[in-house]
Amino acid sequence: MKRSMRRAAIAAVVVVAGLAAGGLWYLRGPGPMAFASGQKVALADYDGADPTGVPASLADASLVERGAYLARAADCMVCHTAPGGRDYAGGLAFRLPFGTLRSTNITPDVDTGIGAYSDAQFLDAVQRGVRRDGARLYPAMPYTSYRYMSDADALAIKAYLFSLPPVQATAPPNTLAFPFDQRWGMMFWSALFSPDTGFEPDSARTPEWNRGAYIAEALAHCGDCHTPRNVAFALDNRRKYGGARTAGWQAYNITSDRQTGLGGWSDGDIASYLATGYAEGRGTASGPMGEAVDHSLSKLAQEDIAALVTYLRSVPAIRSTDLPASLAPPAPASHRDGVDHANALGRKVFEGACVSCHGWTGESSLSPFATLVGTRAVNDPSGTNVAQVVISGTVRHTPPGVISMPAFGDAYSNDEIAAVANYVTQRFGGAAAGLTEQDVAALRNETAD
Amino acid sequence: MAISLNINGSRRSVEAGDDVPLLWVLRDVLGMTGTKFGCGIAQCGACTVHIDGSPVRSCLLPVGAIGDKAVTTIEGISETPEGARVQKAWLDLEVVQCGYCQSGQIMSAAALLAVTPDPDDDDIDAAMSGNICRCGTYVRIRAAIKQAASDGRA
Amino acid sequence: MRTDVKGISRRGLLTAGMAGGVLLAFRLPLGAQTAERAPDESPDQFAPNAFIRIDGEGRTTLVMPQVEMGQGVYTSIAMILAEELDADFRRVAVEHAPPDERLYANPLLGVQATGNSNSIRAFWTPLRKAGATARAMLVQAAAERWQVDPAGCTTFEGVVTHAASGRTATYAELAGAARDQPAPADAPLKDPRDFTLIGTSAKRLDTPDKVDGRVVYGIDVRLDGMKVATLAQCPVFGGRVAAVDDSAAMQVPGVRQVVVLDDLVAVVGDHMWAAKQGLEALDVTWDEGPHADLSSADIWTDLRAASETDGVVARSTGDIATGLGTGELVEAAYEMPFLAHAAMEPLNCTVRLTPDSCEIWIGTQVASRVQASVAETLGIPDGKVTVINHYIGGGFGRRLEPDMAVAAVRIAQKVAAPLKVIWTREEDTRHDVYRPVYRDKIAATLSGGSIAAWKYRVAGAAVLARWLPPAFQNGIDIDAVDSAVDMPYDIPNVHVEYVRAEPPAVPTGFWRGVGPNNNVFAIECFIDELARKAGTDPVAFRRRMLEKSPRMLGVLDLAAGKAGWGDALPPRVGRGIALQPTFDTSIATVVEAEVDGDGEIQLRRVTAAVDTGIAVNPDTIVAQIEGGLIFGLTAALFGEITIERGRVQQSNFNDYRMLRINETPRIDVHLVRSGEFPGGIGECGVIGGPPALRNAIYAATGVALRRLPIDRSLIAGGTRS
Ligand code: FES
Ligand code: FES
């Protein structure tokens, strides 16, 4: 082969490689806390109060108790417990575009759980996504977030998990299509998207902010639902907390954008929503957020909730262009007004099964939890979360007791559910969702099991 | 702890927690059993009462949330002009079968006529679809509401 | 469960089946009921038999041997008595009968039960005799007092008049004297032409108390010191309690006690809310037992297999083998789901126990069975159990079972106070006694445009074998084949088989409309498919086979005419017809329905023609048909109980759906005037709606649905053929 050609070839390779690197660098994007411009320092060098560990009230608690608190804060249970299954015994399905993943048994059972894990092996799994047998975990396990967890906190969680009764349980096998069934492939993914560095406080921020950051990023992993993902399924922190679709539900914009984020919420609203799953005039958490509240956020100490609020408040505003700039006011008291009458089926379902609780105005005569006015879900023209709540219902464990909405998915057709979601979004949100029978069928699939 | 309620025009004081639904305060504490339990999840309407004149499912209404608002139950509905007309129409047209749902049906119908004296089929659907009748008296309920309305005009 | 049933013959049983009413064979001697005086007859009270009491103040009290659950039977029974007694109907009072097999057993059922739509059929004659006998005794008393010939006395609205002497006396005045009169052996009955009450739409006696909340259902009973309990049985059929942690439950305000039995737990509170909250807080571990993996899929696999095997022959006419050899063979199989009763009044029972006796407050269709079962549970004589029966907020067959009383008594045994046990709607739905799943296989041949042979095989549970064992003979459940063995169509070769196929674990029972619901659906759907094959209009196709059944032909023509059969309809709108010979009543039903592009169904109009013989109270009959149609159409559109992991999946009205007023069509019911013996009504309306709707959908879309409830996905999109 002629030299000139070889040179050209080499040049081409170099260029391509350069472009690729650039592309990858772009894909990788900034870290979750990059938006805070202050200097990041190693935990050891941070002179403010230690943002890791448990709240002061638990300072003297046993390792297991501290681990229990942190395990709840990290919300291990929700993903590692199947519906109707034993706590932490795994088996929950994650429906992904390319197949179904199952969570694993993290009870201390030696054969089917994590009973045989050494401390080092546990840290590798939780922080780096490397299984005891060396195999790679899929990022459905948020180890990119847990990487920020301090070793001490991670091992406290281990101590707690090992204090639980071992459960013999093997999850059904994953059903991932090639090439996603090749776990080794995740090695490159991790190398690229999970830089192996721990939590670094921002020296320019208050200790409270840093504590909030630690809870949000290292434990509660808010971004795993609320931050959009890029083509490589990695979090795109350029759009941090800008809202994303997760497990068939909309995880809404929680940036400080006034119109479409939390900018318009008071600190009290946010704190109450996190701690109870409900804020007056803001609505009630359902679906995955409802579970996060029940099993994790509602268990956090008040000061940790306050720290979370401080941190959320600082996240730069991003406008969600798919959401209306303002929330609709209460609907008219008469069924005759407030909607075009094309959607007869939607109205028929609503007046039979829904109006008794939610009212024609959207303000419930029974419970503020059932008031639709002002909630994001009905003001979301996608209608996704409205349809999901109709299908699967919701149960909130609140201080006054259990508040629930029954599931209508088994007795109402996809067509009826689409129609009522379209009716509700039009009547109470001002813009009818355009859901079809097929859309609802798809929603059911995404949340099946 | 004692809660004071205004029921059918008279003051009643009841010993009950704030969270106890009005339905069970009426039935099990006050012995007013005309208001019925059917589902407990606001799907059947058997427990319908009026709070300040508008229909509410008492099975999910915490008694502590009522305050001074006026509670009207089936035992007191004949005192309202609409209630009396509805009851008469119900008897004239022999709407009732087993009767278990009818307290709720009558309460919903009376509330409808109070705001919409001359309802059409659409109004009746909007006001009555939350009330299930397992005996299937719907055809007569619709007719009786229309008769009660015309009695009101007469 | 004891059941003393007299004189069952296989012939009788089949006659019973043929007659479209189960158990016609079990005739009891009526002597006791009509001749024997009521036990509590007081001096100034005239109580010539178990049904009638007239006291000195002129109160006429009629004792109701059948229960009122909405069907209007208190009014129609009272009308029959008052007609022959010539009582003043506006002033009669009615009273629930106490449990007493001797005095109040249903002559057609052999037990004190209300079911099978036979109240009027069973009591028509005995009640007329009871009324006429009492009237005769009052007349004799008057004649004796006036020294005149009884023949010269007339009676009207509670007054005896001797026209010749112009003397009159009220029944009240005569009550005392009438007691001493001998009861005439056979007092003459009125000529139906002289009826003044029967045949009128007299106002119902039970409704005034039902529009102002005064009526007392079982669930409304209140006793001094009473506590309220609610229960949870193992969600898996046949499971048991393994362990209970009641610490949280006992913290709930108002909770007094937690009762743990081997198969259920109950929380006792000051009121239902406390009990309900306590039950939710109760941490129960269940031993799910042998059925933990049972699913609907398994049950259907078994039933489909069973329905392919030969059954016991319930009817054989002509030569089926040759018949099936002639002409074009057509085959189909139809499937019916489990159904819950979902009466609006959730199951409940109130109990007061003393060391050696028990009082039960309940609304039941089987008062004496409740008494016997409770006595058995407590190990005391029946006589020590008092059952106070109530108006029923919906029975539909669910209250033909005593299980709720037994459970309540077992819980009450652990509680030192009178106890009302109330089922939550969820518990009521998940521990029902379900309408069985059925599969019906039909093979028929068409030759020359008409049916040459008809082979019908029904496979399903034998409810009767459990409910009334003596009635289950030679392997045939006469309820399961009811309306199949007595199909109205004149077909030369007919063969009907029954395969008993009991679903594992799932309890099955009677459900309003019983066997005929299943058989009429399969038969009428298949007839439409045959008519289409024969290229004949469904009404014309049926007419040809009805020459020998004038009453069926009459209702067919009446319904078709009133429904505008044959008039043009918009696309995807269809009319369907169904014919039924059920409970000695002939009914034709036409449903007009629209199917939209997504398979959503809109009921546009329902027309029914009914020939039930003498109509005791025409308006009540119309109301029963209207309500029955909605009950049946609800099941056709929504009704299905499914089993997964041994559990019922449905729980409340959000997932076990009921037709609502905004889904209810216009309904027109037309009664045929007739002097024939009165037929049954209470269940009839339920039966015709589903096949008529299915046939309407068949006409609108060309899709031959073969399973209930209707699967929208099969009829979505354009017309198929
Ligand atoms: S009991 Fe309240 S709506 Fe059913
Ligand atoms: S009259 Fe029986 S439920 Fe309505």
- Which residues form the domain of A439? 344-446
Please indicate, yes or no, whether residues A85 and A186 belong to a single structural domain of this protein.
Answer: yes
Nearest to C656 among A345, A348, A411 (CB): A411
Q: Does A401 sit within 8 Å of B54, measured CB to CB?
A: no
Please indicate, yes or no, whether residues A150 and A272 belong to a single structural domain of this protein.
Answer: no
Mean pLDDT of chain B: 97
**3-state DSSP percent of chain B in helix, strand and coil, to 5:** 45, 15, 40
Confidence of residue A5 (pLDDT cuts 50, 70, 90): low
Nearest to A356 among B42, B51, B122 (CB): B42
Q: Is B55 helix (H, G, I), strand (E, B) or coil?
A: strand
CATH number at residue A391: 1.10.760.10
Q: Is A295 annotated as a binding residue?
A: no
Does C403 score more than 50 pLDDT? yes
Confidence of residue C45 (pLDDT cuts 50, 70, 90): confident
Residue A405: closest C-alpha in chain C: C654
Write out the H or E segment, with its range, that includes residue C353. Answer: strand C348-354
Residue B41: closest C-alpha in chain A: A406
C-chain residues within 8 Å CB-CB of A351?
662
Does C120 score more than 90 pLDDT? yes
Q: Which amino acid is at A341?
A: H
Q: Does C656 sit within 8 Å of A415, measured CB to CB?
A: no
A positions 339-358 inside 8 Å of B (CB) = 348, 351-353, 355-357
- Class of the domain covering C218-289+347-422: alpha beta
A-chain residues within 8 Å CB-CB of C712?
413, 415
Please state whether beta strands B2-7 and B70-72 pair in parallel, antiparallel, or not at all (unpaired). Answer: parallel
**Distance of CA B1 to CAs B11, B15, B48, C254, C278, Å?**
16, 5, 25, 12, 19
Does B56 score more than 60 pLDDT? yes
Please indicate, yes or no, whether residues A181 and A232 belong to a single structural domain of this protein.
Answer: no
* Contact between residue C275 and residue C246 where contact means Cβ atoms under 8 Å apart: no
- Class of the domain covering C297-338+434-715: alpha beta
* Neighbours, chain B (3 or more CB pairs < 8 A): A, C
Please indicate, yes or no, whether residues A300 and A231 belong to a single structural domain of this protein.
Answer: yes
Q: Is A257 helix (H, G, I), strand (E, B) or coil?
A: coil
Does C94 score more than 80 pLDDT? yes
* Contact between residue C128 and residue C80 where contact means Cβ atoms under 8 Å apart: yes
For residue A154, tell me if it sits in a domain.
yes
Segment among A13-17, A325-329, C173-177 with least mean pLDDT: A13-17
Q: What is the mean pLDDT of residues A119-132?
A: 93
Please indicate, yes or no, whether residues A360 and A270 belong to a single structural domain of this protein.
Answer: no
Closest CA to C396 of C514, C516, C512: C512
Please indicate, yes or no, whether residues A65 and A146 belong to a single structural domain of this protein.
Answer: yes
Q: Is A321 exposed, middle or buried (0-12, 13-18, 19+ CB in 10 A)?
A: exposed
Confidence of residue A430 (pLDDT cuts 50, 70, 90): confident
Domain boundary among A193, A208, A242: A193
Task: List the structure tokens of C216.
Answer: 């007392």
Which of A337, A357, A366 has the highest number of chain B CBs within 10 A, making it the mutation to test binding with B? Answer: A366
- Name the CA radius of gyration of chain C, rounded: 27
Does C19 score more than 50 pLDDT? no
Domains C31-209 and C218-289+347-422 share a fold: yes
Query: What is the tens place of the pLDDT at every residue in C559-577?
Result: 999 999 999 999 999 999 9
Does C48 score more than 60 pLDDT? yes
Q: Does B51 sit within 8 Å of A365, measured CB to CB?
A: yes
B46 CB near ligand 1 (under 6 Å): yes
C344 CB near ligand 2 (under 6 Å): yes
Please indicate, yes or no, whether residues A442 and A384 belong to a single structural domain of this protein.
Answer: yes
For residue A20, tell me if it sits in a domain.
no
C207 CB near ligand 2 (under 6 Å): no
Q: SS3 letters for A169-237?
A: CCCCCCEECCCCCCHHHHHHHHHHHCCCCCCCCECCCCHHHHHHHHHHHHHCCCHHHHCCECCCCCECH
Q: Does C663 sit within 8 Å of A352, measured CB to CB?
A: yes
* pLDDT value for A288: 92
Task: List the structure tokens of A286.
Answer: 């359902």
Query: What is the tens place of the pLDDT at every residue in A379-421?
Result: 999 999 999 999 999 988 877 778 899 999 999 999 999 999 9
- Our measurement of the distance from residue A15's CA atom to the centroid of its chain's CA atoms, rounded to an integer in Å, reads 39
Q: Torsions phi, psi of C457, nearest 5? A: -130, 120
Best probe residue, ligand 2, of B47, B94, B97, B140 (max atoms within 8 Å of C-beta): B97
Q: Does C654 sit within 8 Å of A406, measured CB to CB?
A: yes
B61 CB near ligand 1 (under 6 Å): no
Segment among A320-324, C108-112, C269-273 with least mean pLDDT: C108-112
For residue A269, tell me if it sits in a domain.
yes
Non-local CB neighbours of C19 within 8 Å, separated by 6+ positions: C486, C584
What is the CA(B47)–ligand 1 centre distance, in A? 5
Does C27 score more than 60 pLDDT? no
How many domains does one find in chain A?
3
Please indicate, yes or no, whether residues A142 and A236 belong to a single structural domain of this protein.
Answer: no
Query: What is the tens place of the pLDDT at every residue in B70-102?
Result: 999 999 999 999 999 999 999 999 999 999 999
Q: How many helices (H) and strands (E) does chain C have?
A: 20, 27
- Longest alpha-carbon distance in chain A: 85
Does C450 score more than 90 pLDDT? yes
Q: Which domains, from first to last, does chain B contain?
A: 2-72 (3.10.20.30), 77-153 (1.10.150.120)
Q: How far apart are CA A305 and CA A72, in angstroms?
A: 13
Name the residue ranges covered by the structural domains of chain C: 31-209, 218-289+347-422, 297-338+434-715
What is the CA(B134)–ligand 2 centre distance, in A? 5
- CB atoms near residue C182 (< 10 Å): 8
Could you tell me which residues are beta bridge partners of residue C349? C421
Please give the ipTM for the structure prediction. Answer: 0.93
Q: Does A133 touch chain C (CB under 8 A)?
A: no
Q: SS3 letters for C230-295?
A: EEEECCECCCEEEEEECHHHHHCCCEEEEEECCCEEEEEECCHHHHHHHHHHCEEEEECHHHCCCC
Mean pLDDT of chain A: 90
Does A229 score more than 80 pLDDT? yes
Higher pLDDT, A83 or A317: A317
Could you tell me which residues are beta bridge partners of residue C666? C605
Q: Which amino acid is at A322?
A: D
Q: How far apart are CA C567 and CA B2, in angstroms?
A: 67
CATH assignment of C31-209?
Answer: 3.30.365.10
Query: What is the tens place of the pLDDT at every residue in C249-295?
Result: 999 999 999 999 999 999 999 999 999 999 999 999 999 999 999 99
**Distance of CA C575 to CAs C528, C530, C554, Å?**
12, 16, 19
* Neighbours, chain A (3 or more CB pairs < 8 A): B, C
